[in-house]
């Protein structure tokens, strides 16, 4: 079974980063690595800016972006090859940049930028980074190959946010990719990009490289998908808020999903779902600290702690809806939530009492319209500028005293709402937005620093 190694933009940002990534791939050669790369750091943003500038007729600005992209890749090539990149690499890089120049000229003439054109442009970042990395790795290890992910990663035609056709991906991966993978050799391919049934280039949306790695890992039956980035895994809390936060050794998919939903900087669960569903572990590792700690995400996990991690999200608003009609009245909540559905507003936390229900909505929710529509059948009070602090853990449901310990830690703060998630692995509290960071630190001290 192969190993999938995905390196993000920060891990291939320059020659030094690429050398480190290549060293990690070299060490993994016995495991038949499939190397999935993002574009070099900041390249995709520059491509988007250049495309929009060309569309608006600002061809000089578009060319300036292109020159910076070219300079970044040429500098990396010179750094990797001691100032003398192979002629074929220089020609390949120049060819891809000239393609972009022609596309930008076309955009300026047409004054139009379709989603299909934007995908064709955005994909050039990954094509450039993999062309460069593959050439360098061939110098280190002759048995390696560049591979075009578009020949395998089949998607629909929703340009900019394409959805993979998993059955086609699996069949194409087994036909075209698997025979090229073997112990002792590496295959270098692109994240983020694919192609539809007509062969048109598509992209999976921003952050799609993790998804590419997961999709290809699931299709190939990989023994592991490694996500190499600039952090040592998923932390017990945001280290910027809780300086003593530490990486979590193991995390369940459900825990990762809850943490992401409540604002934690973790892998987006949707991107790793194919691997998890195929029972393939996903590890999050630090490129510059390969021997350091890391997090393994699996379908299920049984950590030693009752609380696995904390997260906070805000600002949010709390709506408290009160009506005596709720008492022994069928259909009241259906009528209430119909209002939110009609307005396209997602409701997050919900807590109910006999004659009232409190719920949270995002900061951009149309509060005035919501209150106006609720007014004919209930009184609605709004508390603005609040935040959610969430405690997440698979063992919450079976550990006594967690809520009591959390509320004791939060004694200095006014907790306005408390909600246990439907899956019983998330206990959330609502506090004033300006107190959220202090509340998270108090909880972190109680559950992770007191032992």
Cβ neighbours of residue 199 closer than 8 Å, sequence gap 6 or more: 150
Give burial (CB, 10 Å; 0-12/13-18/19+) of 64.
middle
Dihedral angle computed from the Cα positions of residues 31, 77, 286 and 276, in that order, rounded to the nearest 10 degrees:
-50
Cα(378)–Cα(372) distance, rounded to whole angstroms? 10
Angle at 97 between CA 92 and CA 98, to 5 degrees: 95
- List CB contacts of 219: < 8 A, sequence separation 6 or more: 152, 166, 169, 170, 173, 174, 177
Phi-psi region of 286 (alpha: psi -120 to 50; beta: other; left: phi over 0): beta
Name residue, tokens 């499939």.
Answer: 34
- Residue 47 is predicted with a pLDDT of 96
> Would you identify the CATH topology of the domain 309-448?
VC0802-like (3.30.2130)
Contact 363, 317 (CB under 8 A): yes
What pLDDT, on the 0 to 100 scale, is given for residue 424? 77
Residue boundaries of the structural domains of the chain? 3-230, 309-448
Dist CA 289 CA 293 (whole Å): 8
Which parts of the chain register pLDDT below 70? 302-304, 325-330, 421-423, 451
> Taking each helix axis from N to C terminus, what angle separates 269-277 and 253-261, rounded to the nearest 10 degrees?
170
What digits encode the pLDDT tens for the residues 419-428? 886 667 889 9
42 and 263 in contact (C-beta within 8 Å)? no
Q: What is the pLDDT of residue 274?
A: 92
User: What does the pLDDT read at residue 325?
Assistant: 65
Residue 309 CA to residue 37 CA, distance in Å, equals 29
Span 3-230 CATH architecture: 3-Layer(aba) Sandwich (3.40)
Region of 349 please: left (phi>0), alpha (psi -120 to 50) or beta.
Answer: beta
d(CA 185, CA 25): 10
Tokens of 266: 């973790």
Q: What is the pLDDT of residue 305?
A: 78
């Amino acid at each position: 079974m192969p190993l999938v190694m995905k390196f993000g933009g920060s891990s291939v940002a320059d020659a030094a980063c690429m050398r480190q990534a290549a060293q990690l791939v070299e060490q993994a050669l016995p495991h038949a690595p499939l190397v999935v790369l993002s574009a070099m750091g900041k390249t995709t943003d520059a491509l988007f800016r250049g495309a929009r500038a060309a569309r608006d007729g600002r061809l000089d600005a578009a060319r300036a972006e292109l020159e910076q992209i070219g300079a970044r890749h040429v500098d990396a090539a010179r750094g990797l090859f001691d100032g003398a990149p192979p002629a074929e690499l220089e020609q390949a890089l120049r060819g891809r940049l000239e393609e972009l120049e022609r596309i930008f000229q076309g955009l300026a003439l047409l004054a139009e930028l379709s989603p299909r054109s934007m995908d064709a442009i955005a994909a050039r970042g990954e094509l450039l980074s993999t062309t460069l990395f593959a050439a360098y790795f061939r110098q280190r290890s002759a048995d390696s190959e560049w591979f075009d992910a578009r020949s395998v990663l089949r998607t629909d035609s929703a340009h900019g946010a394409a959805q993979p056709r998993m059955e086609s991906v699996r069949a194409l991966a087994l036909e075209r990719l698997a025979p090229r993978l073997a112990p002792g050799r590496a295959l270098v391919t692109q994240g983020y990009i694919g192609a539809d049934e007509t062969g048109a280039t598509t992209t999976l949306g921003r952050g799609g490289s993790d998804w590419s790695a997961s999709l290809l890992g699931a299709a190939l039956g990989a023994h592991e998908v490694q996500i190499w980035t600039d952090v040592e895994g998923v932390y017990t809390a945001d280290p910027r808020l809780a300086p003593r936060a530490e990486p979590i050794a193991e995390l369940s998919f459900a825990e990762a999903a809850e943490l992401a939903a409540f604002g934690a900087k973790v892998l987006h669960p949707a991107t790793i779902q194919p691997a998890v569903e195929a029972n393939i572990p996903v590890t999050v590792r630090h490129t510059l600290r390969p021997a350091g700690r890391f997090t393994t995400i699996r379908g299920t996990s049984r950590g030693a702690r009752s609380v696995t991690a904390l997260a906070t999200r805000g600002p949010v608003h709390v709506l408290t809806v009160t009506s005596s009609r709720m008492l022994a009245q069928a259909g009241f909540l259906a009528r209430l939530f119909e209002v939110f559905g009609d307005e396209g507003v997602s409701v997050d936390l919900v807590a109910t009492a006999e004659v009232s229900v409190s719920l949270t909505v995002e900061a951009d929710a149309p509060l005035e319209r919501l209150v106006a529509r609720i007014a004919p059948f209930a009184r609605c009070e709004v508390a603005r500028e609040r935040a959610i602090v969430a405690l997440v853990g698979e063992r919450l449901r079976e550990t006594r005293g967690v809520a009591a310990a959390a509320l004791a830690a939060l004694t200095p703060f006014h907790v306005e709402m408390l909600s246990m998630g439907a899956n019983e692995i998330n206990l959330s509290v609502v506090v004033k937005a300006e107190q959220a960071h202090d509340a998270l630190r108090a909880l972190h001290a109680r559950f992770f620093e007191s032992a």
